[in-house]
Amino acid sequence: MTTTTLHEEHPKHNLTGFIIFLCSESVIFLAFFSGYALLKTSALNWLPNGVEGLEWRMPLVNTIVLVSSSGTIALAEHFKGRGKMLLFRGFWLLSMAMGAYFLYGQAVEWSGLKFGFTSGTFGGTFYLLTGFHGLHVATGILLMGLMLIKSFIPGNYSGGEQGVQATSLFWHFVDVIWIILFLLIYVWQ
Amino acid sequence: MTNSSNHSINTSAIAGVSVWVGLVVVISDWMGKQAHHWLPVQASTAAPLVDDLFSFETALGTFVFIGVVSVMVWVMLFNRAEKYDETDAIPIEGNTRLEVIWTAIPFVLVMAIAFWTIRATGELGTLGPMEHIHLRNSAEEAGGYAGDRLPAEQVEVIARQWSWEFRYPGSDVSSTELHLAVDQRVTFRLVSEDVLHGFYIPAFRVKQDVIPGRAIDLNVTPTLEGVYRLRDSQFSGTWFAANQADVVVESAEAHQAWLDNAARSPLQPGLSQAVSEYAIRQARANPGWATVPPAPPPQVNMPGSPDQPHTA
Amino acid sequence: MTIATFPPEPKPEPSWGRYFGFCTDAKVIGIQYIVTAFFFFLIGGLLAMVIRGELITPASDLVDRAVYNGIYTMHGTIMLFLFIFPVLNGLNNLLIPTMIGAPDMAFPRLNAVAFWLVPIFGFLLIASFFVPGGPAYSGWWSYPPVSTQNPVGHLINGQGMWITAVALSGVSSIMGAINFVTTILRMRAPGMTLFRMPVFCWTALAAQSLQLIGLPALTGGAIMLLMDLTFGTSFYRPEGGGDPVLYQHLFWFYSHPAVYVIILPVFGIFSELFPVYSRKPLFGYVYVALASFIIVGLGLIVWVHHFFSSGVAQWMRNLFMVTTMLIAVPTGVKVFAWLGTIWGGKLRLTTPMLFCLGGLFNFVFAGITGIMLATVPVDIHVSNTYFVVGHFHYVIYGAAVMGIFAAIYHWFPKFIGRMPYEGLGKLHCLLTFVGANLNFLPMHPLGLMGMPRRVSSYDPEFTFWNVIASLGAFLLGVSIIPFLLNMVSAWIRGPKATHNPWNAIGLEWLLPSPPPEDNFGEDVPTVISRPYGYGSGEPLVEHQEEIERRLQLQEAAS
Ligand code: HEA
Ligand code: HEA
Ligand code: CUA
Ligand SMILES: [Cu+2]
């Protein structure tokens, strides 16, 4: 319902639909987060034996990269508004690259971990949360790639491109989720 | 709620309505009393509280229900369109005063029920189901319950797929038939070795899920001698329906005698309908859809008698 | 209204083929939904007949215990995910665009995809009957650890297919919900402000918002359940430190709101039909409309009332009891508004009206037993007994399904273009009302006496009421025959329907029966007054007489 006022101006409804979808999607993460909190608080030996806490420095670097990519994508949108397509594509590509770096960092971290998916609720929730979020990052990168390709179709943006807005919205969403996730998993130990 | 403005009709209408309301009140009160007969015997201190609450709700519910239905019946009898009458009725868009009234009255009613209930459960607190305890932190475990003064008999209840085992640490004996002394408060410690089960004794009006990985304490005081049914109330798989046991409430002396007798008798396989049925099932050429095999019958001192008559 | 429709359809009677293909016309999709739903209703009903057949005697004699558990599980699952939700989405597809004057849904393609997912996961669910080990048997809640025991041991097993099917149904419902909400918010006819919108659209909006908020929680819970079942994680496994009660929270956080997803559109149907058949405006339209959203708000904070006896802290029990009780208030507002609507009206006891009255009767009864269930001490005694089964069949079959029948009889002429037969309809209504009460009333004494639900055998003292319930169930089974007869014969050779056979007020009644593919096309009438203007004589839209004259000419021509 909040979306109505947001989008009176647009002729089509895709963005409205997409925002409604994002609101709904956030509830899945809410479910996982509350599950994580509940299991963690009620567990007596939370960490699987042999594991003492998580290394947080590299994930922090990852976090900074991902969060700043929210800025770059905003810039890209801004330049699109100005009609500066080259700058738009540049920053857009940069955001994609940063997202890719984040995924790479995630993969490196995973491969270095001493516990697995099935080692207790800690392992389960850790891989579930990070994995499910990682899926969203990958989806975001794919969407960006799609938009980048579309941006070469002449006159594609003349009517205002909702796809770009939707994609960057999605990207911001993925970032916000990650921040909560980072606080839950790495900061709260 | 009459759409007539005519004064004389109004007064007679009000008279008629109030007579009817009076009648409905009488009927509701009667239903409230009837409600007690729909429930099993009251065999625990919890039962009267539950039953009185239910009886009150039955009375109130009857009043609401008959109230609504009488309007519907009245309308269907006296507000029918004549044959071939295609015209519309007088357009009444609404009435804010009425809206306020019929928002306020239900609000007050349900809040009244809620208040009564919270008080009732407050009392039930010492009798009925309790906050459960994680086996893990023993800090909670030590804590007793408010108003829990007299020493309670401890009975450990072990739920399995599909049998009930009862252990009496006081005089370390065990059985598959629950024996309790009348008017003697008992604290059950409910544990499950596999899945969720439900510890349900209708005559006691108590029900508590048995959750694997937790020990849940439950206090009851039986008040009436007799044989009652303990039924699994949380679906636990193939033989869920057969996962029942008898509860024998007996005099303190009889109970002590039973415990002594139990102490003397050797361990033997307890009752487990599932085990016997499973054997027959496996004997069949095609056992049918997959099932978890039943746990072997627990080794107990007193199996108990499989099919004695029960009062509830 | 002669605007080019693509694919161009020359003849007035469009081909039957489109009902079997990937068509993006909401009216076609609506009928696809409803017909599919009733196909599964017959299967779910057949399973119910087996359940009642087993329970007509105390012993477990008709079917093996494992089979019984599979059958009641699939009965509940099919009835909810393959009958009631699809049939309601069918009505949404038919009614929302025509009621608000939109040419179609906001996302027609997404709409079609959402529908076609239904037969897919429906097939998956039915197929689970035939995999080794049989279908899921842990009830429609699928509580772990029972649901993760996987006795057959295969990777492909009934429970896994069940979870997948439910997840797919969630995806389909989310697609639908996004579509309905967007359509209602963005595609209303000129002049149709929210407070000129028919109450059915209000309730649909409310119900679909609940879907959007609640379903993802269920999906999340289901994902973790599937992983516990398949990959040996331990989210819900006590051995690995997991917590079975966590699943109960996630499941009911959606599945309680789900019951309001079911009943809210039915409230909408009542609110549409009572004015038509008592020739009076809906009493207190604004309150009825807004009450829907109060129900949404409250409906989201009551879920724990489904596991009071699972061992939740006392303060939690009290809190959730109070919130649950409060729902009686907005619901009462609606009930009393309907009474105010029929009061002093000029009733026409047509088939739809009779179904509405019967549905209201059953609903109030069910609501009262609901309030009883909300009070913790009473619930402790009757929870997981037949009292609960009685409660929700009264509300789901007695109220929701009867309301859906009312809607079908009421809007059949509009979307099929032919009149159903009154005689058969009234017979169907009578059998349904008697059968439902005979079937579901005895479940209450059974529960009070302490008969657990989900049992394949029971103690002899429960026999009497079970026999009556079973006879009622078989009567319900029979009741469906006049319905099917009526629908089939009316569709094939029923008398042609005019554009407004019930002389009702609403945009959909200003369209020909059946409406053209793009409804009003370009010239959508401008709404100038509130709905339900019965007796006031004021028109609903600009140039109303003109539009109606045009329709009458069309009808005279054909
Ligand atoms: C369409 C579906 C539907 C609807 C509308 C409702 C409506 C309600 N339900 Fe029901 N319910 C179910 C479907 C539904 N339910 C299902 C499917 C289950 C079981 C699921 C399972 O276990 O498998 C269930 C189970 C269920 C439980 C759990 C029982 C248990 O498992 O132990 C509870 C407990 O609180 C409950 C309560 C209520 C209440 C308070 C309402 C209220 O909304 C009712 C409000 C209406 C009224 C009160 C009547 C009208 C009001 C007035 C006339 C005003 C005056 C009234 C008073 C002052 C009382 N329901
Ligand atoms: C929309 C929901 C819905 C509907 C409509 C129904 C309809 C019916 N239900 Fe359902 N039921 C549930 C939802 C529903 N149920 C749920 C959610 C559960 C809980 C499951 C669980 O515990 O997990 C349940 C559980 C349940 C139980 C408890 C099982 C148990 O706990 O052991 C029983 C027992 O009597 C029952 C009976 C019936 C009956 C007799 C009908 C009748 O109204 C059905 C009437 C049937 C018809 C009108 C069609 C008849 C068809 C034929 C006669 C054959 C023709 C068929 C072909 C040609 C293919 N249901
Ligand atoms: Cu339409 Cu935003
Ligand atoms: Cu509920």
Write the CB contacts of C33 (distance below 8 Å, at least 6 apart in sequence): C86, C87, C89, C90, C93, C115, C118
Mean pLDDT, chain B, as a whole number? 86
Residue C312 has pLDDT above 50, yes or no: yes
Are the C-beta atoms of A124 and C237 separated by less than 8 Å?
Answer: no
A125: which chain C residues are within 8 Å (Cβ-Cβ)? 235
Give the mean pLDDT of C31-40.
Answer: 96
* Contact with chain C for residue A126, Cβ under 8 A: no
Lowest mean pLDDT among B40-54, B84-98, C323-337, C486-500: B84-98
Rounded to whole angstroms, the Cα distance separating B79 from C209 reads 38
Instruction: Look at ligand 3, atom 1, and give the residue with the nearest C-alpha.
Output: A13
Asked if residues C387 and C365 have their Cβ atoms less than 8 Å apart, the reply is no
Which residues lie below 8 Å from residue C342, measured CB to CB, with a gap of 6+? B72, B75, B79, C274, C278, C280
Could you tell me what percent of chain C has a pLDDT over 90? Answer: 85
Is the pLDDT at C342 greater than 50, yes or no? yes
Residue C154 clears pLDDT 70, i.e. is over it: yes
Measured distance CA(C348)–CA(C335) in Å, rounded? 19
Mean pLDDT for C472-479 is 96
Q: Summarize the confidence of residues C226-239 as an average pLDDT.
A: 90
* Residue C405, Ramachandran bin (φ over 0: left; ψ between -120 and 50: alpha; else beta): alpha
Q: Tell me whether B5 touches chain C (CB under 8 Å).
A: no
* pLDDT the model gives residue B312: 83
pLDDT at B143 over 50: no
- Nearest Cα to C437, choosing from C410, C397, C386, C408? C397
pLDDT band at residue B6 under the 50/70/90 scheme = low
The phi, psi pair for B157, rounded to 5°, reads -110, 120
Smallest Cα distance from A166 to chain C, Å? 15
Beta bridge partners of B268: B300
Residue B151, pLDDT score: 61
Would you state the structure tokens that stand for residue C373, as one six-digit string? 């269930």
Q: Considering only CB atoms, which chain A residues are within 8 Å of C107? A: 13-14, 17
> To test the ligand 2 pocket, which listed residue (C397, C404, C467) has its Cβ within 8 A of the most ligand atoms?
C397
- Which residue, among B217, B249, B36, B214, has the nearest Cα to B127 in the 3D structure? B217
Rounded distance between C-alpha atoms, residue C498 and residue C57, angstroms: 51
DSSP string, C70-128: HHHHHHHHIIIIIIIHHHHHHHHHHHHHHHHT-SS-SSHHHHHHHHHHHHHHHHHHHHG
pLDDT at B8 over 90: no
Q: How many CA atoms lie within 13 A of B171 on its CB side?
A: 15
Do B194 and B225 form a contact (C-beta atoms < 8 A)?
A: no
Distance (angstroms) between ligand 3 centre and the Cα of B230 equals 60
Q: Which residues of C touch B98 (CB under 8 A)?
A: 284, 336, 340
Task: Report yes or no: C96 and C519 within 8 Å, Cβ to Cβ.
Answer: no
Size of interface A-C (CB pairs under 8 A): 110
Query: Which residues, numbered 188 to 247 in chain C, qualify as contacts with chain B under a Cβ-Cβ cut-off of 8 Å?
Result: 238-239, 243-245
What does the pLDDT read at residue C10?
40
Q: Among C124, C121, C101, C103, which Cα is nearest to C113's?
A: C121
Q: Which atom of ligand 3 is nearest to the CA of A13?
A: 1
In this structure, are residues C326 and C367 in contact, taking their beta carbons and an 8 Å threshold?
Answer: no
Helix (H) or strand (E) holding C278: helix C244-278
Using CB distances shorter than 6 Å, the residues near ligand 2 are C 42-43, 45-46, 48-49, 51-52, 72-73, 75-76, 79-80, 83-84, 139-140, 389, 393, 396-397, 401, 439, 453-455, 473, 476-477, 480
C530-541 mean pLDDT: 90
Could you tell me how many residues make up chain A? 189
Residues A99-133 pLDDT 10s: 999 999 999 988 888 888 887 888 889 999 999 99
- A121 Cα to chain B: minimum distance (Å): 14
Helix (H) or strand (E) holding B269: strand B268-269
Q: What is the mean pLDDT of residues C201-209?
A: 97
H/E stretch holding B188 = strand B186-192
Q: Are C246 and A35 a contacting pair at CB < 8 A?
A: yes
The amino acid present at C348, given as its one-letter code, is R
- Say which amino acid occupies C477: G
Q: What is the pLDDT of residue B173?
A: 93
Q: In what order do the strands lie in the sheet with B226-232?
A: B178-181, B244-250, B226-232, B197-201, B206-210
The one-letter amino acid code at C369 reads T
A176 class by beta-carbon count within 10 Å (0-12 exposed, 13-18 middle, 19+ buried): middle
Interface probe for C, chosen from A27, A49, A128, A135 (most Cβ of C below 10 Å), is A27
- Complex ipTM value: 0.91
What pLDDT score was predicted for residue B85?
81
Q: Which position has the token pair 């009436």?
A: B224
Mean pLDDT, to the nearest integer, of B256-269?
A: 92
What pLDDT sits at residue B126? Answer: 45
Query: Does C346 score more than 70 pLDDT?
Result: yes
Helices (H), A83-161: 85-111, 120-150
Is the CB of A14 within 6 Å of ligand 3? no
* HEC-encoded secondary structure of B76-112: HHHCECCCCCCCCCCCCCCCHHHHHHHHHHHHHHHHH
Do the bridges between strand B186-192 and strand B153-160 make them parallel or antiparallel, or are there none, so unpaired? parallel
Lowest mean pLDDT among A3-12, A123-132, C120-129, C247-256: A3-12
Task: Quote the ligand 2 centre to C342 CA distance (angstroms).
Answer: 32
Q: Which residues are CB-contacts of C343 (< 8 A; sequence separation ≥ 6)?
A: B1, B3, B71, B75, B79, C283
Enter the DSSP assignment of C506: S
Split at pLDDT 50, 70, 90, the class of C448 is: very high
Determine the pLDDT at residue C171. 93
Closest chain A C-alpha to C125 CA, distance in angstroms: 24
User: How many Cβ atoms sit within 10 Å of the Cβ of residue B137?
Assistant: 10
pLDDT of residue C13: 57
Tell me: cis bond preceding C244? Omega within 30 of 0 counts: no
Q: Indicate whether A161 pLDDT > 90.
A: no
In this structure, are residues A67 and A164 in contact, taking their beta carbons and an 8 Å threshold? no
B241 near C CB under 8 A: yes
The whole-model pTM stands at: 0.92
How does pLDDT run across C406-416, given as a tens digit for each residue? 999 999 999 99
Residue B239 confidence (pLDDT) = 95
Q: What is the DSSP letter of C525?
A: P
User: What ligand is nearest to the CA atom of residue C405?
Assistant: 2
Query: Among A40-54, A172-186, B8-22, C164-178, which stretch is predicted with the lowest mean pLDDT?
Result: A40-54
The phi and psi torsions of B216 (rounded to 5 degrees) equal: -110, 125
From atom 19 of ligand 2, which residue's Cα is the shortest distance away?
C76
Q: Do B277 and C378 lie within an 8 Å CB cutoff?
A: no
Q: Do the strands B133-134 and B214-220 form a parallel or antiparallel pair, or are they unpaired?
A: antiparallel
> CB burial class (10 A; 0-12, 13-18, 19+) of residue C340?
buried
Least Cα separation, residue A26 to chain C (angstroms)? 8
Residue C349 CB-density burial (10 A; 0-12 exposed, 13-18 middle, 19+ buried) = middle
Q: How much is the average pLDDT of B67-83?
A: 93
Strand-by-strand arrangement of the B173-175 sheet? B133-134, B214-220, B186-192, B153-160, B163-168, B173-175
In this predicted model, what pLDDT tens digit does every residue of B209-240 receive, in sequence order?
Answer: 999 988 888 888 999 999 999 999 999 999 99
Residue C346 backbone class (left: φ over 0; alpha: ψ -120 to 50; beta: rest): beta
Residues C49-94 have pLDDT tens digits of: 999 999 999 999 899 999 999 999 999 999 999 999 999 999 999 9
CB contact under 8 A, C377 and B213: no
Is the separation of the CB atoms in C328 and C238 below 8 Å?
A: no
CB of A35 less than 8 A from some CB of C: yes
Own/partner pairs, C9-15, CB within 8 angstroms, 24+ separation: C9/C517, C12/C558, C14/C517
Total residues belonging to chain B: 312
Q: What average pLDDT does this structure show over B58-84? A: 93
| pLDDT confidence of residue A160 | 59
Q: What is the pLDDT of residue C229?
A: 93
| Whole-number pLDDT of residue C290 | 95
Pairing state between β B163-168 and B153-160: antiparallel
A124 vs C contacts (CB less than 8 Å): 224, 227, 233-235, 240, 242
Q: A42 in contact with C at a CB cutoff of 8 Å?
A: yes
- Cα of C76 from ligand 1 centre, angstroms: 17
CB spacing of C364 vs B69 below 8 angstroms: yes
What kind and span of H or E run contains B119?
helix B96-124
pLDDT tens, residue by residue, B83-132: 888 888 888 888 889 999 999 999 999 999 998 888 877 766 543 444 44
Which pLDDT does position B145 carry in this prediction?
A: 35
Contact C98/C515 with Cβ under 8 angstroms?
yes
Amino acid at A96: M
Check pLDDT > 60 for residue C24. yes
- pLDDT tier, B192 (very low <50, low <70, confident <90, very high otherwise): very high
User: Rg for chain C (alpha carbons), in Å?
Assistant: 23
